[in-house]
């Protein structure tokens, strides 16, 4: 009898241990994933300043929400070029470049790069005598040209033997040098979440000489190199660092030639493309407002890895809650700050001013926006 009892006791103990072991495994698996699973990022620690959104000169006003929309049959008209006839050329997420008539809202397919066309600009008369090739930053393909004869050709997709992984924005000088950004040497356009959580100093400012075909690195170690714009006199070039909320100035000529300095910093969002305004100032698009939770995560590599594991698990997609169009003078002073929150205008990546109007491009929207410019009389 006692032997049967002891045997039963041992059996119950064995079952309890098995149940406890199973519970321990079930509990330890998610803990192990959250704290120890390899994530493929090495976050660079930094501490952002307090977000200035809502404070002067970044008072919220929702003025971008008044924009007239031109609805398209595709998504992500991220950058644009305006032709002499007023047509807006823009690239979509499916690889197409379309020409849009802003008077009628009609649009026509021009070509498909087979990649992801972002920024684009016409090579001007100083190079060829007339409005010429459409120069394109295509994220995975590099710097492209769509010629007047209808040929699509690659200008450059590597520099010093390294691939140009993420061609992003550009501006073209009067002597035919394309200044453009390679956003990251670590992550491509389809790995934006990796880039945002790691914030590596992996971006570069490059040049391509249309006449000689030579590609050069001007600046590297940038935190997601994005918008590019030359000064009116071409004495300096601006380059946005999206994941540091700032814009740098690189001096091309003058006593500071070859030096870089801060042009604008601690912005209320993520700076994207930069364009020069007709009066010599600059328009900077902030694709999204800053998130206070992400700002608090930046000083901790461990916490960013933990949160990143959760983001991958739930297939996180960013919320496009806020966007800005900033006008800065040639000295970096913010003169106009237009925003939109929870609006039909969102994820603005490019602000181009022409004939008293602002043309608003977007990373995610299926529309372009048009609104009167506050710089016009």
Contact by Cβ (8 Å): 170, 180:
yes
Alpha helices in the chain (DSSP H): 2-36, 125-128, 192-198, 292-297, 301-313
> Is residue 19 in a domain?
no
Pick from 309, 294, 318: nearest CA to 41: 309
> Is residue 73 in a domain?
yes
Please state, in angstroms and rounded to a whole number, the distance separating the CA atoms of residues 55 and 48. Answer: 16
Percentage of the chain exceeding pLDDT 90: 73
- Phi, psi (rounded to 5 degrees) for 277: -80, 160
- Under the banding of pLDDT at 50, 70 and 90, the label for residue 304 is confident
Q: Residue 286: helix, strand or coil by DSSP? A: strand
Domain that holds residue 174: 38-372
Q: pTM for this one?
A: 0.88
When computed from its CA atoms, the radius of gyration of the chain, rounded to whole angstroms, is 25
Write down the residue that tokens 């090739």 correspond to. Answer: 133
Q: What is the mean pLDDT of residues 202-206?
A: 97
**What pLDDT score was predicted for residue 129?**
43
Q: What is the mean pLDDT of residues 215-223?
A: 98
Domain count, the chain: 1
Find the Cα–Cα–Cα–Cα dihedral 153, 158, 164, 169, rounded to 10°: -60
> Is residue 169 in a domain?
yes
> Is residue 13 in a domain?
no
> Is residue 110 in a domain?
yes
> Is residue 222 in a domain?
yes
Q: What is the pLDDT of residues 57-112, one digit of tens each?
A: 999 999 999 999 999 999 999 999 998 889 999 999 999 999 999 999 999 999 99
CATH code of residue 261? 2.120.10.30
- Under the banding of pLDDT at 50, 70 and 90, the label for residue 32 is very low
> Is residue 4 in a domain?
no
- Under the banding of pLDDT at 50, 70 and 90, the label for residue 7 is low
- Is the N-terminal amide bond of 201 cis, ω within 30° of 0? no
> Is residue 230 in a domain?
yes
């Amino acid at each position: 009898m006692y032997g049967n009892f002891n045997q039963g006791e041992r059996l119950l103990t064995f079952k309890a241990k098995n149940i406890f072991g199973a519970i321990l495994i079930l509990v330890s698996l998610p803990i192990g994933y959250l704290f120890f699973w390899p994530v493929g990022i090495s976050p660079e620690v930094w501490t952002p300043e307090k977000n200035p959104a809502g404070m002067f000169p970044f008072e919220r006003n929702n003025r971008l929400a008044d924009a007239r929309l031109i609805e398209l049959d595709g998504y992500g008209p991220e950058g644009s070029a305006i032709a002499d006839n007023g047509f807006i050329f823009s690239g979509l997420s499916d690889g197409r470049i379309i020409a849009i008539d802003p008077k009628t809202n009609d649009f026509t397919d021009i070509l498909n790069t087979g990649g992801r066309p972002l920024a684009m600009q016409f090579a001007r008369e100083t190079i060829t005598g007339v409005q010429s090739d459409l120069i394109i930053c295509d994220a995975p393909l590099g710097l492209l040209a769509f010629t007047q004869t209808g040929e699509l050709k690659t200008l450059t997709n590597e520099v010093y033997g390294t691939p140009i992984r993420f061609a992003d924005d550009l501006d073209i000088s009067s002597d035919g040098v394309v200044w453009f950004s390679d956003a990251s040497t670590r992550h491509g356009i389809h790995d934006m979440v990796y880039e945002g959580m790691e914030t590596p100093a992996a971006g570069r400012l490059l040049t391509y000489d249309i006449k000689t075909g030579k590609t050069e690195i001007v600046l590297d170690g940038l935190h997601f190199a994005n918008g590019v714009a030359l000064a009116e006199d071409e004495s300096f070039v601006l380059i946005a660092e999206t994941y540091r909320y700032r814009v740098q100035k690189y001096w091309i000529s003058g006593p500071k030639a070859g030096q870089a300095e801060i042009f604008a910093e601690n912005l209320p969002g993520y700076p994207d493309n930069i364009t020069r305004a007709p009066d010599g100032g600059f328009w900077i698009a902030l694709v999204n407002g800053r998130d206070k939770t992400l700002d608090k995560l930046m000083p901790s590599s461990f916490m960013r890895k933990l949160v990143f594991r959760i983001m991958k698990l739930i297939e996180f997609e960013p919320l496009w809650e806020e966007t800005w169009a900033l006008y800065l003078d040639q000295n970096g002073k913010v003169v106009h700050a237009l925003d939109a929150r929870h609006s039909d205008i969102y994820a603005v990546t490019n602000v181009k001013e022409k004939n008293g109007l602002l043309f608003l491009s977007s990373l995610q929207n299926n529309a372009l926006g048009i609104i009167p410019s506050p710089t016009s009389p």
